[in-house]
Structure 1
């Protein structure tokens, strides 16, 4: 029996997922969570085999939760299930430790195959995501180039947004904002927010 934990902030999505697994004798829904923080608590208590993880959620986003799951439920495999397939979403999730990445418009049969494959530790990628990853591998970004998400964070900081405001605007956690800022500082070779904004203007990244 493969035990599943469903993580999505939209109840209607969780309802739909639950319906997809009805009648599957080898799949069991162990629990449901509405955000990353709740997912960590449930994963620790329920020890699921596969966690179906949305990315953009309140309190704690999917990428942050995937990182933390390594500690609280190291045996759980994470299958990202989201509507977002941009490189700024895909790469951080894979780097954080996701076993697979599917889009929410995937057919039910594909979802079921992906869950069973993930439970075995096999990597599962939707075709659109695989194309993006291959493109990234063939054309690596120049050193010190800011990602799309890092630019979004930098633009908000330049407009005077606090970490909390930026997190709310981008639907990610404050911890993720801090991580993006650290990456920005390293790439721009600065030590703080003000210096990062100034250097970004100097390089023409902001106008």
Structure 2
């Protein structure tokens, strides 16, 4: 049996969820609350549930802020964020804090049921729109052209083990010009040594 808790401040949403989930043969809503603070006061009941639907925007402590104290009471509790917000920042903060799924409030009740069942079986579930944001976030980012062509040549010279003088001779510029470019390269790459520049080049970061 999937034993569920719901933390949602909108009465109609909370009651509709409770009614729908209690109608499922494999689910039972054990506790409901309108705020994280009210929910945390029911620590004994919290230990009886294995799944929690948690809204983000709540009076007092937000759902995001509530994840950790809730996990302190029941470390194995599956927390599914149910929210009207689908911006990347909130999604990743929730997942990093310990939530296992993030579902849009716009999802149909059948999809919420599907998410609860998936999580109960050890999986994870995200609304399609949110899943796309996660994929986009982790997709390889194109490297930006941080350095000018001349600065790139100087970096390659460092990788090849050339001294400032040899780099200057190779590109027909003065040693002082090389030093000036090196300072600008350090600033752009947020580094303080040739070794760090070479590492970034070898790692494909520039």
TM-score range, shorter chain: 0.5 to 0.7
Structure 1 segments (4+ residues) deviating >4 Å: none
Q: Equivalents in 2 of 1:71, 1:99: separation in Å? A: 16
Contact 1:5–1:43 (Cα < 8 Å) also in 2: no
Q: Equivalents in 2 of 1:43, 1:27: separation in Å? A: 20
Q: Equivalents in 1 of 2:8, 2:56: separation in Å? A: 8
Contact 1:44–1:73 (Cα < 8 Å) also in 2: no
Q: TM-score, with normalisation over the residues of structure 1? A: 0.64
2:136 paired with 1:132: no
Greater C-alpha radius of gyration: 2
- Give secondary structure in 2 for the equivalent of 1:79: strand
Q: TM-score, with normalisation over the residues of structure 2? A: 0.64
* Structure 2 residue runs without a partner (length 5+): 144-206
Q: Equivalents in 1 of 2:63, 2:44: separation in Å? A: 16
Rate the CA distance shift 1:121–1:42 in 2: closer, same or farther, 3 A: farther
Q: Equivalents in 2 of 1:44, 1:99: separation in Å? A: 22
Q: CA deviation at 1:13?
A: 0.9
Contact 1:117–1:124 (Cα < 8 Å) also in 2: yes
Quote the residue 1:28 is aligned against. Answer: 28
Quote the residue 2:52 is aligned against. Answer: 51
Contact 1:79–1:100 (Cα < 8 Å) also in 2: yes
Contact 2:7–2:53 (Cα < 8 Å) also in 1: yes
Q: CA deviation at 1:84?
A: 0.6
* Structure 1 residue runs without a partner (length 5+): 143-207
Q: Equivalents in 1 of 2:58, 2:75: separation in Å? A: 22
How many residue pairs get aligned? The number is 141
Quote the residue 1:81 is aligned against. Answer: 82
Quote the residue 2:147 is aligned against. Answer: none
Q: Equivalents in 2 of 1:118, 1:37: separation in Å? A: 25
User: Which is bigger in relative contact order (C-alpha 8 A, separation at least 6)?
Assistant: 1
- Give secondary structure in 1 for the equivalent of 2:42: helix
Q: CA deviation at 1:11?
A: 0.9
